[in-house]
Amino acid sequence: MNEGTYRRLTLGETVNILCEKKDTLILCHSRPDCDTIGSGIALKKLLEKMGMKAHCICESELPHRLEFLPSGQDSFLPENIPADFSAERIISVDTASPMQLGKLEDAYLDRVELMIDHHGKGEQYADGYILPDISATGEIIFNISRELLRIGAIDSISAEIDTCIYAAISSDTGCFKYSSVSPDTHMIAAELLRTGINASDINHRLFDCKPFIQLKTEQLGFEHLTLYDNGRIAIIEFPYELKASNGILDQHMETLVDIARSVEGVGVAVVIRQPKDEGVYRCSMRSSCEIDVSKVCSKLGGGGHIKAAGCTIEADSIAAVREIVLKTIREEY
């Protein structure tokens, strides 16, 4: 795809597009996090307030920890789109490249009219409102919601919308502790708090409430953590057999990279996991130093942010993936 064929839109242009009365299908990225889901639900509810039908889909159902978000949907699977819903427009949220759409790519990519995203590295595949210098796509949806209110396209913003926006931002900033957080991020959070949303409950659900199996997964991750280069690089290897033998689902593995990153002295944290019994491995990377992990992952076919990125690698073994990852990280040190 040629990114030059697609436009970078302004806030005003984006809002004008959203005000067009079209029933809208909203695509969230695979292995969904709270930024894509929270942003998607908030956008859905904004469109509904303007008299349109809207529906969010993902290649998988929501992870358990995000089920508290007020989606108004029984399912996020594409096969469960309501029979009376017909999409006149397709929008993606928080999805930097076609690969991130997962199984939705083949069915919907060519029909995406608008992408709303905040990732610095990726592949533009539609006209987009893309702001790589902000902390979360939730910030973009916040600005869209307030502009819609300002121009009179909507008469109010519900607590459900603001709950989803706050959850999206808080989740993608690690409860406002990551380097992507700006003064504007805090100003947005302050305005959301003034509306009366229950931020304490949102943050408890996102960060302090884990099912036992997730804690067990974190324990296993620590047991399979190895330090390299005098402790500057930490890698957790999580092969399929370890996942399957312990009844672990992909959603239980989301916090593994935080275990690796929390070790004192670690500059780059990596999780290499094998979702299925095949030679395809998912790598998540986090940086606490000068290393740009989005650059590392882009060399391996992925992307993301300077401090948080990911990629998919095909190889004969998890050991082979480890050596590929180590070599690529070391090229940046």
Q: pLDDT by residue (tens digit) across 169-186?
A: 999 999 999 989 999 999
Q: What is the pLDDT of residue 215?
A: 96
* CA quadruple 125, 301, 282, 129: dihedral, nearest 10: -30
Query: What is the rounded average pLDDT of the residues 209-225?
Result: 96
Query: What is the rounded average pLDDT of the residues 253-257?
Result: 93
pLDDT of residue 301 exceeding 90, the answer is no
Q: What is the pLDDT of residue 240?
A: 97
Looking up tokens 């095949």, which residue turns up?
278
Q: Which of 2-16, 38-52, 85-99, 235-249 has the lowest mean pLDDT?
A: 2-16
pLDDT of residue 294 exceeding 50, the answer is yes
- Sign of the four-CA dihedral 20, 22, 23, 24: negative
Task: Output the furthest CA–CA distance in the chain (Å, rounded).
Answer: 59
Domains parsed from the chain with CATH numbers: 3-207 (3.90.1640.10), 212-332 (3.10.310.30)
pLDDT of residue 2 exceeding 50, the answer is no
Query: What is the rounded average pLDDT of the residues 155-165?
Result: 98
Looking up tokens 């998988």, which residue turns up?
60
Entry pTM: 0.88
pLDDT digits 0-9 by tens, 101-112:
999 999 999 999
pLDDT of residue 333 exceeding 90, the answer is no
CA distance 302 to 152: 40
Q: What is the pLDDT of residue 4?
A: 56
